[in-house]
């Protein structure tokens, strides 16, 4: 079965950095669109970034553009999110997901990890 496991979350001061990792199994990673989403209580899940199977094209939400970098290692079946210049509004539960269409719409994604918590203090 498809399995996605996020790690690397934690607590950090505003302006700091975190690197998230999503390890995967149970599907053909190198032909699969991948993405990161985040969610806070009382708000809908929102896309952070997506990446094509080859890694050649990346897309970012306007709120994180210039601060976050999505990447993947197809030999390790692993997805990454480097988060820099973190802001309190970046706080949330971060999830990785597998996609069936290209974009930042959550309806395009069909498998989700359990999430890793990111907390940014001012």
Name the token pair of 74: 């197809």
Name the token pair of 71: 């990447």
Ramachandran region, residue 31 (left: φ > 0; alpha: ψ -120 to 50; beta: rest) = alpha
Residue range 16-33, pLDDT digits in tens: 999 999 999 999 999 999
Residue range 40-58, pLDDT digits in tens: 989 999 999 999 999 999 9
Residue range 57-103, pLDDT digits in tens: 999 999 999 999 999 999 999 999 999 999 999 999 999 999 999 99
């Amino acid at each position: 079965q498809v399995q996605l496991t996020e790690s690397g979350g934690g607590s950090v001061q505003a302006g700091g950095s975190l690197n998230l990792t999503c390890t995967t199994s149970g599907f053909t990673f190198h032909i699969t669109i991948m993405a990161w989403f985040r969610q806070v209580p009382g708000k809908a899940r929102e896309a952070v970034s997506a990446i094509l199977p080859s890694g050649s094209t990346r897309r970012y939400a306007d709120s994180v553009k210039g601060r976050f970098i999505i990447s993947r290692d197809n030999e390790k079946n692993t997805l990454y999110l480097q988060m820099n210049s973190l802001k309190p509004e970046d706080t949330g539960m971060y999830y990785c997901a597998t996609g069936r269409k290209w974009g930042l719409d959550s309806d395009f994604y069909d498998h989700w990890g359990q999430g890793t918590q990111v907390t940014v203090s001012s």
